[in-house]
A and B are shown apart, each in its own frame.
Chain A
Amino acid sequence: KQEVTQIPAALSVPEGENLVLNCSFTDSAIYNLQWFRQDPGKGLTSLLLIQSSQREQTSGRLNASLDKSSGRSTLYIAASQPGDSATYLCAVRPLGGGSYIPTFGRGTSLIVHP
Chain B
Amino acid sequence: DTGVSQDPRHKITKRGQNVTFRCDPISEHNRLYWYRQTLGQGPEFLTYFQNEAQLEKSRLLSDRFSAERPKGSFSTLEIQRTEQGDSAMYLCASSDRYEQYFGPGTRLTVT
Contact surface of A with B, Cβ cutoff 8 Å: 4, 32, 34, 36, 41-46, 49, 51, 89, 91, 99-102, 104-107
| Dominant secondary structure of chain A at its interface with chain B | strand
A–B complex contacts, Cβ < 8 Å, 15 sampled: A41-B89, A43-B102, A43-B103, A43-B105, A44-B91, A44-B102, A45-B102, A51-B98, A99-B56, A101-B45, A101-B48, A101-B56, A106-B40, A106-B42, A107-B42
Most buried by A among B6, B42, B50, B91: B42
Q: For residue A77, give the distance in angstroms from its CB to the closest CB of chain B.
A: 19
Q: Which B residues lie within 8 Å of A101 (CB)?
A: 33, 45, 48, 56
Q: How far is the CB of B47 from chain A (nearest CB, A)?
A: 10
Nearest CB in chain B to that of A31: its residue? B98
> Is B43 at the interface (CB under 8 A from chain A)?
yes
A42 to chain B, nearest CB (A): 6
CA distance A37 to B95 in the complex (A): 17
Tell me how many residues of B have a C-beta within 8 Å of chain A.
27
The contact string, 1 if C-beta is below 8 Å from chain A, for chain B 34-71, is 00000011111100101000011000000000000000
Q: Looking at chain B's contact residues, is the secondary structure mostly helix, strand, loop, or mixed?
A: strand
CB distance B95 to A100 under 8 Å?
Answer: yes
Partner of A42, one of B31, B100, B105: B105
Closest CB-CB distance, A113 to chain B, in whole Å?
Answer: 21
B29 within 8 A of A: no
How far does the alpha carbon of A114 sit from the alpha carbon of B102 in the complex, in Å?
A: 30
Whether A32 touches B48, Cβ cut-off 8 Å, given contacts A41-B107, A89-B42, A106-B41, is no
What is the bound-complex CA distance between A111 and B93, given in angstroms? 26
Would you give the 0/1 interface string for B90-111, flagging 1 where the beta carbon is closer than 8 Å to chain A?
A: 0101010011111111010000
Task: Tell me which residues across on chain B come within 8 A of A32, comparing CB atoms.
Answer: 98
Write out the residue numbers on chain A whose beta carbons fall within 8 Å of the beta carbon of B55.
Answer: 100
Known: A43-B104, A101-B45. 6 other contacts (CB 8 A): A32-B98, A46-B101, A49-B99, A100-B48, A100-B55, A101-B56
